[in-house]
């Protein structure tokens, strides 16, 4: 277990000091309890008589009885006075057994000796005793030593209360950074790695299962993760669900062991993500070093296929670029650097244009064209996606309006709706109002939801989908076959169209095995859904998909995404 996982050792003292301050009793005025373990009845009586005006006394006539008393009263005991030589379970054995129990381990022990040999003293110290008193000491000396050992322990406990996170027992953020700095400074030659973790969608977990269950989960996770870390030096909780671990540098593929999901609780479908910053640069402050691990961590958030990322040199470059993207996104949106392209979808039966998908494009004056694959995930992470999506939807409404006004037969246009957008409770109303303000029939706007919504709370998402569907919008499930959806959850959403993932289509064509596609199409068919295949690039793929029973085809085979003017021209061409 980690050196700083302090479940237990100081529990008793923590509880004690907290209670006292609540009641407004100064710690020094409280009567502490002392356990006296001594086989000689006379000695015991003398000791008790000496101490009882200041302490509550619990007596035990040998080590075995002493352990029983501990079991019954450990929460109340502040100190143990222990004789070494006793017939049944001597002081050494008592110390040994006490040390093995986390509940008792932190209780301070003063050895009472008649004369005592140096060897025995050393052995007692090694077994965890704190001090020695000669049985013949005078009353004041004895009391003073008892008081000072208790005081020492209680101050340590108070400090411990401040240092550790009360929920998990790990170091809190400040102390983790402090200790990490101390260790890195002290050990010039040692190499260290930082591992940071977080729980995918912790906020949703909190909402769905409640605070208590989530707290219990975090406690279990803290213990489990600490045990997983090889060469663990320090463990801390930096914020809600973010843990940090300082470990001795590890070679090779050790991080494979982090690829776990359901181990803590088979019922819940959660993932823990990890970011690893290897070979910590000791000239960095601990907070900057952890920041690097967290940056790596963020690159795997919301990715179903991987849960671990490393902060390597190129990550630094990526980070600067990401920073720039985040700094400039708002300006870009306000200054028309974003535009919308339209990729036609063809009806496989008539070969005519049966619709189109709206795809965001960003042309940056210096960076050039920035791929949606890069910016969408950043925007989903920082929440900007909702602003961008609203902009795209409005552009799409404008485009449909323009087509209608030019006398073109309008085709339905699918817009991508990010899972983040579903966090707006009035999403359906806002979309309806927007479309209405352009006087457009709702059936002309298709809502494409990405398959990654399956990681979120489906009931909440479906509530919005039902509203949209009742309002006349058509719902498409994007990227089917990518990995999140399982067949049962498919039945939980209100859908009209299933869109087969581009990768699935490409894979089937590559290995010339259309079995998976066939199964997916049969499933969609049985649910009464129309089927769109995307990423279709060749005539052979299109022909195969037609045989399998696809309804629409989208892909370079027909057309790449087109700017608005080219799209209108395309519509004109194909309506002839």
Q: Where do contacts with ligand C2E occur on this chain (CB under 6 A)?
A: 343, 359-360, 371-373, 376, 385, 389, 392, 416, 418, 450, 478-479, 502, 534-537, 555-556, 561
Nearer to Ca ion, 308 or 541 (CB): 541
- The answer for residues whose C-beta is within 8 angstroms of residue 469's C-beta and 6 or more apart is 475, 494, 496
Nearer to Ca ion, 416 or 485 (CB): 416
Least distance to Ca ion, CB of residue 477, Å: 10
**Do 318 and 311 meet the contact criterion of CB atoms below 8 Å apart?**
no
**Do 409 and 379 meet the contact criterion of CB atoms below 8 Å apart?**
no
Least distance to Ca ion, CB of residue 551, Å: 16
Least distance to ligand C2E, CB of residue 236, Å: 35
Nearer to Ca ion, 154 or 478 (CB): 478
**Do 108 and 82 meet the contact criterion of CB atoms below 8 Å apart?**
no
Q: Which of 179, 193, 479, 551 binds Ca ion (CB under 5 A)?
A: 479
Q: Is 416 among the residues that bind Ca ion (CB under 5 A)? A: yes
Least distance to ligand C2E, CB of residue 560, Å: 7
Q: Where are the strands (E) in 101-154, listed by range?
A: 109-113, 131-134
Question: Which of the choices Ca ion, ligand C2E, none does residue 535 contact, using the CB cut-off of 5 to 8 A by kind?
Answer: ligand C2E
Least distance to ligand C2E, CB of residue 477, Å: 11
Determine the interface stretch with Ca ion among 107-115, 322-330, 387-395, 442-450 (rule: CB under 5 A).
Answer: 442-450
Least distance to ligand C2E, CB of residue 189, Å: 47
Least distance to ligand C2E, CB of residue 212, Å: 35
Nearer to Ca ion, 165 or 448 (CB): 448
Nearer to ligand C2E, 226 or 450 (CB): 450
Total count of residues recorded for the chain: 576
Determine the interface stretch with Ca ion among 124-132, 272-280, 285-293, 412-420 (rule: CB under 5 A).
Answer: 412-420
Nearer to Ca ion, 39 or 479 (CB): 479
State the Cα–Cα distance between residues 35 and 104, nearest whole angstrom: 12
Least distance to ligand C2E, CB of residue 386, Å: 9
Q: Is 421 among the residues that bind Ca ion (CB under 5 A)? A: no
For residue 302, give the nearest of 260, 271, 275 by alpha carbon.
271
Nearer to ligand C2E, 427 or 536 (CB): 536
Q: Which of 291, 448, 451, 462 binds Ca ion (CB under 5 A)?
A: 448
Side by side, the strands of the sheet bearing 192-199 are 171-172, 232-239, 242-248, 192-199, 272-277, 308-310
Beta bridge partners of 242: 239
Least distance to Ca ion, CB of residue 475, Å: 13
Determine the interface stretch with Ca ion among 121-129, 173-181, 190-198, 446-454 (rule: CB under 5 A).
Answer: 446-454
- The answer for residues whose C-beta is within 8 angstroms of residue 406's C-beta and 6 or more apart is 568
Q: Is 478 among the residues that bind Ca ion (CB under 5 A)? A: yes
End-to-end CA distance of the chain: 74
How many chain residues touch Ca ion (CB under 5 A)?
A: 4
Nearer to ligand C2E, 61 or 389 (CB): 389
For residue 257, give the nearest of 276, 278, 237 by alpha carbon.
276
**Do 111 and 19 meet the contact criterion of CB atoms below 8 Å apart?**
no
Question: Which of the choices ligand C2E, Ca ion, none does residue 555 contact, using the CB cut-off of 5 to 8 A by kind?
Answer: ligand C2E
Pair of tokens at residue 355: 């619709």
For every residue of 62-73, DSSP letters joined together read SHHHHHHHHHHH
State the Cα–Cα distance between residues 415 and 476, nearest whole angstrom: 10
H or E stretch including 437?
Answer: helix 427-437
Q: Is 241 among the residues that bind Ca ion (CB under 5 A)? A: no
State the Cα–Cα distance between residues 417 and 358, nearest whole angstrom: 11
**Do 83 and 62 meet the contact criterion of CB atoms below 8 Å apart?**
no
**Do 235 and 229 meet the contact criterion of CB atoms below 8 Å apart?**
yes
For strands 308-310 and 272-277, give the pairing.
Answer: parallel
Question: Which of the choices ligand C2E, Ca ion, none does residue 392 contact, using the CB cut-off of 5 to 8 A by kind?
Answer: ligand C2E
Nearer to ligand C2E, 89 or 533 (CB): 533
Nearer to ligand C2E, 59 or 374 (CB): 374
Least distance to ligand C2E, CB of residue 564, Å: 14
Determine the interface stretch with Ca ion among 234-242, 243-251, 310-318, 411-419 (rule: CB under 5 A).
Answer: 411-419
Least distance to Ca ion, CB of residue 468, Å: 16
Pair of tokens at residue 146: 């008892």
- The answer for residues whose C-beta is within 8 angstroms of residue 282's C-beta and 6 or more apart is 184, 185, 188
State the Cα–Cα distance between residues 292 and 278, nearest whole angstrom: 10
If you ran DSSP here, which 8-state letter would residue 57 be given?
Answer: E
Least distance to ligand C2E, CB of residue 253, Å: 31
Nearer to ligand C2E, 113 or 485 (CB): 485
Angle between helical axes of 313-334 and 286-298 (0-180°, round to 10): 70
Nearer to ligand C2E, 56 or 530 (CB): 530
Residue ranges binding Ca ion (CB under 5 A): 416, 448, 478-479
């Amino acid at each position: 277990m980690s050196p700083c996982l302090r479940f237990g050792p100081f529990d008793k003292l923590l509880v004690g000091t907290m209670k006292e301050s609540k009641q407004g009793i100064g710690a020094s005025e409280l009567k502490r309890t002392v356990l006296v373990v001594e086989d000689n009845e006379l000695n015991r009586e003398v000791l008790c008589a000496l101490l009882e005006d200041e302490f509550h006394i619990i007596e035990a006539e040998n080590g075995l009885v002493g352990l029983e008393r501990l079991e019954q009263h450990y929460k109340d005991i502040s100190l143990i006075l222990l004789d070494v030589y006793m017939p049944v379970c001597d002081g050494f054995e008592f110390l040994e057994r006490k040390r093995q129990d986390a509940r008792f381990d932190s209780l301070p022990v003063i050895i009472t000796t008649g004369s005592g040999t140096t060897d025995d003293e050393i052995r007692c110290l090694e077994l965890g005793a704190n001090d020695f008193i000669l049985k013949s000491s005078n009353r004041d000396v004895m009391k003073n030593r008892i008081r000072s050992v208790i005081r020492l322990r209680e101050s340590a406990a108070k400090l411990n209360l401040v240092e550790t996170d009360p929920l998990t027992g790990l170091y809190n953020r400040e102390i983790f950074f402090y200790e990490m700095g101390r260790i890195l400074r002290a050990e010039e030659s040692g190499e260290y790695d930082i591992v940071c973790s977080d729980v995918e969608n912790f906020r949703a977990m909190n909402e769905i299962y409640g605070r208590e269950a989530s707290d219990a989960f975090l406690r279990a996770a803290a213990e489990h993760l600490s045990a997983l870390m090889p060469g663990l030096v320090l463990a801390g909780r930096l914020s809600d669900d973010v843990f940090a671990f300082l470990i001795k540098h590890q070679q090779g593929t050790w991080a494979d062991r982090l690829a776990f999901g359901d181990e803590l609780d088979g019922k819940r479908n959660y993932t823990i993500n990890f970011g690893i910053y290897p070979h910590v640069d000791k000239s960095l402050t601990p907070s900057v070093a952890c920041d690097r691990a967290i940056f790596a961590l963020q690159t795997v958030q919301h990715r179903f296929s991987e849960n671990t990322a490393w902060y390597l040199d190129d990550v630094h470059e990526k980070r600067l670029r990401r920073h720039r993207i985040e700094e400039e996104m708002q300006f870009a949106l306000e200054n028309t650097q974003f535009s919308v392209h339209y990729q036609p979808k063809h009806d496989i039966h008539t070969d005519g244009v049966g619709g189109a998908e709206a795809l965001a494009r960003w042309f940056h004056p210096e960076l050039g064209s920035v791929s949606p694959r890069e910016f969408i995930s950043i925007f989903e992470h920082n929440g900007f996606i909702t602003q961008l999506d609203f902009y795209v939807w409005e552009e799409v409404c404008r485009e449909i309006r323009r087509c209608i006004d030019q006398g073109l037969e309008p085709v339905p246009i699918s817009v991508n709706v990010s899972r983040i957008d579903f966090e707006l409770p009035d999403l359906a109303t806002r979309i309806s109002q927007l479309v209405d303000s352009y006087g457009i029939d709702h059936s002309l706007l298709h809502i494409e939801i990405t398959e990654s919504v399956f990681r979120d709370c489906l009931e909440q998402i479906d509530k919005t989908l039902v509203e949209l569907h009742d309002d006349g919008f058509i719902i498409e499930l994007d990227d089917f076959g990518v990995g999140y959806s399982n067949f049962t959850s498919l039945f939980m959403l209100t859908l009209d169209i299933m869109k087969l993932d581009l990768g699935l289509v490409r894979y089937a064509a590559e290995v010339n095995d259309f079995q998976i596609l066939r199964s997916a199409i049969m499933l969609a068919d049985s649910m009464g859904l129309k089927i769109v295949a995307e990423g279709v690039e060749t005539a052979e793929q299109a022909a195969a998909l037609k045989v399998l029973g696809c309804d629409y085809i989208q892909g370079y085979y027909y057309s790449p995404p087109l700017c608005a003017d080219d799209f209108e021209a395309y519509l004109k061409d194909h309506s002839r």
